[in-house]
Amino acid sequence: MKPKKAPRIDAHEVASVRPELFINWQLSQLEFNFRVLAQATDSGNPLLERLKFLCITDTNHDEFFEVRVAGLKQKIVSGSVQAGPDNIAPADIIKGIAVRSHALVVEQFRVYNEVLVPELADEGIRFLSRTNWTAGQREWLHAHVNNIMPILSPFGLDPAHPFPRILNKGLNFIVALKGKDAFGRSGGMAVVQAPRSLPRVIKLPQNETGSGPYDFVLLSSVIHEFIGNLFPHMEVVGCHQFRVTRNSELYLDEEEIADLRRALEGELLSRRYGDAVRLEVADNCSSDIIGFLLDKFGLTEDDLFQVDGPVNLHRLIAVYDLIDRPDLKYQTFSPKIPRKIAGKSNMFERIRGKDILLHHPFESFVPVIDFVSQAARDPDVLAIKQTLYRTGPDSAIVDALVAAARAGKEVTVVIELKARFDEEANIALSNRLEDAGAHITYGVVGYKTHAKMILVARQEEGAIRNYVHLGTGNYHARTSRLYTDYSFFTCDREITEDVHRLFLQLTSLGKVGKLKKLFDAPFSLHDALTAKTERETLHAANGHPARIIVKLNHLTEPGIIQALYRASKAGVKIQLIIRSTCSLRPGLPGISDNIEVRSIVGRFLEHTRVIYFQNAGKPEVFCSSSDWMVRNFFRRVETCFPVERPELRQRLIDDLEYYLKDNSQAWILQSDGTYRKAGPGEAKPFAAQTALLEKYSRVAGEA
């Protein structure tokens, strides 16, 4: 069976799918950041968590430019005019992004300067500007800057000293100078780069400076104040911070390279200096200097962002861990282990009894780690196979795989080297696993391996029994406390056989044909979900109960959107819980008036992918590693698996109903592409994440 190719949409096809029915997905992704930023102004969130949300918007915006805007600019440079189903050309998308991105940045700094800084000051948490330093603070900071001066390198600009290479997202200063330099030449301009090793937030010591317990100074302020020390006998007449964002996409022709890992290592070195896509400068920077910088980076005024504050807002997130104020943070909680697993020394015995379903972070990720760790130690386990996309540093799961390989077990790991921004970490862990004796493969050329699956083969009573873990999220212990995801354990013969065949496909590249219970991309997943949507359409047309609930991160693939439109027209009730990007327009008369789209933004990043089909009273529920995007359906290896045990299936349905009931953290998508915050009205306020926390805090439920 050949992988299904991504659809190529030409002008005729665009017309046939009616472009006005589709929201541009890049602009939709940008709108998600406004919903995150709204959390920073929500007084229902603890104050330091609100600061964290502000920092997250900055990180999100950085990545949006590094990847999405960079990709669009690359298309324009290459002369591409190909539009998506919305029929908006890349150049016009860039213009729309410029408008909304500038509006976002203005709002970010309004929230920072007018909302968060004053409210933090009321709580004794202060960011001290240079004009407000006391004599004691200035003396201590002067000594501090003297310590770091040797690692600061000023670069004067003249024919012998060209404009230096500027790191992606690094903190820099453009300095205007007056007077004669050491060689008698008139001063001009210089650039100073702040090394990434220097903390961007400095906590002032109380005893030495007479400061409050939580008085902070930004590194940018300190360098700005004392930058004259770098230019003796010259006068600094202007100093302005700036930051450049660069194209961070890696361009590899996998079919033309012999060693993916080695080629990727080479590409990572150039990522820091990709083409510039955005310039951020202090808002008091002169137009002459701005023009000079734009020219140096080949950018236009649309790419310019003048900011009233630090150019790297995301670095303020360091403050969160420097402040011991539990009253200003979310209440801590301990993820629960279901009582039927808690205390069990043998995960395999428990899985043989019944399938297990865990909902992270409300339920602990520890059983997933235990599953691999026990497999590594168990003398009856013969082989472990696992996919790894993101794991994080110091991974207990990787430790277990290393131990298993050293113990002589057959360990096969499919590592996705091209997991964006985790490439370097994944190269390191691939080296570590290979050194331990594990078999390492990097998936399939041209297709990212995004599936989350573990297969353990165990010798039992003269036969081999397979055990499987399937998930909606990564094998990453830290993010398992921040992202909502599902873990599913089973020894169901048909499911484990499907997973076995998928691993064969990934390692041997042989054809496995049709799977028994799982759907996989890039082969059967798109067709299967489309067919089940069409089945629901037929049920509605025949007067049977018909309902679809889908919970995803992104919904942009035009084929599946058209299937949902057809289902809506037939009378199927469709409820979509799409966290971030959605190209479907709900509420269009006669087309999508049976479709509601909501986005939940709260304490945890919603990451679960769940699909429910009412199926005329015989409900089916699936979990998946895949969003509904072109890349997931046609350019990635993904899995979608059924949850068939009635009580577990009902748990998933109940969880979906929690999100549909949410009237506190939900945003409702309007047909024009904007979002409206849901309100409780006369109903009692209900937040799904809070309710789930309370539910799992009361009792460690069934697995």
Residue that is written with structure tokens 């047309």 in the block: 541
Q: How far apart are CA 509 and CA 497, in angstroms?
A: 17
Q: How far apart are CA 524 and CA 30, in angstroms?
A: 31
Q: Which two tokens stand for residue 300?
A: 């236009």
Within 10 angstroms of residue 580's Cβ, the number of other Cβ atoms is: 23
Contacts of 666 by beta carbon, 8 Å cutoff, 6+ apart: 598, 599, 600, 659, 677, 678, 688
Q: Which two tokens stand for residue 686?
A: 């209900």
Q: How far apart are CA 433 and CA 399, in angstroms?
A: 9
Determine the distance from the C-alpha atom of residue 469 to the mean position of all C-alpha atoms in its chain, rounded to a whole number: 23
Q: How far apart are CA 204 and CA 213, in angstroms?
A: 8
Determine the distance from the C-alpha atom of residue 93 to the mean position of all C-alpha atoms in its chain, rounded to a whole number: 22
Q: How far apart are CA 646 and CA 351, in angstroms?
A: 16
Nearest 5°: the CA angle 67, 388, 641 is: 95
Decide if 436 contacts 413 (C-beta within 8 A).
no
Q: Which of 314, 360, 450, 469 is catalytic?
A: 450
For 626-689, strand residue ranges (E) read: 636-642, 666-669, 675-677
The verdict on whether 450 is a catalytic residue reads yes
- Spatial CA neighbour of 175 closest among 189, 196, 164: 189
103-to-34, 165, 306 alpha-carbon distances in Å: 10, 29, 12
Residue that is written with structure tokens 């026990």 in the block: 374
Q: How far apart are CA 395 and CA 392, in angstroms?
A: 6
- Specify the DSSP element, H or E, that contains 173: strand 171-178
Q: How far apart are CA 38 and CA 25, in angstroms?
A: 20
Longest dimension (CA), the chain: 90
Contacts of 531 by beta carbon, 8 Å cutoff, 6+ apart: none
- Specify the DSSP element, H or E, that contains 278: strand 276-282
Q: Which two tokens stand for residue 191?
A: 């650039």
Q: How far apart are CA 165 and CA 258, in angstroms?
A: 31
- Spatial CA neighbour of 9 closest among 101, 88, 119: 88
Sign of the C-alpha dihedral computed for residues 50, 52, 55 and 57 taken in this order = negative
Decide if 337 contacts 352 (C-beta within 8 A).
no
Determine the distance from the C-alpha atom of residue 257 to the mean position of all C-alpha atoms in its chain, rounded to a whole number: 29
Decide if 575 contacts 596 (C-beta within 8 A).
yes
Q: Phi/psi at 571 (nearest 5 deg)?
A: 105, 5
Which residues is 598 bridged to in the sheet? 577, 668
Decide if 413 contacts 377 (C-beta within 8 A).
no
Q: How far apart are CA 267 and CA 640, in angstroms?
A: 32
The end-to-end CA distance of the chain, in Å, is 36
What's the length of the chain?
A: 703
Residues involved in catalysis: 450
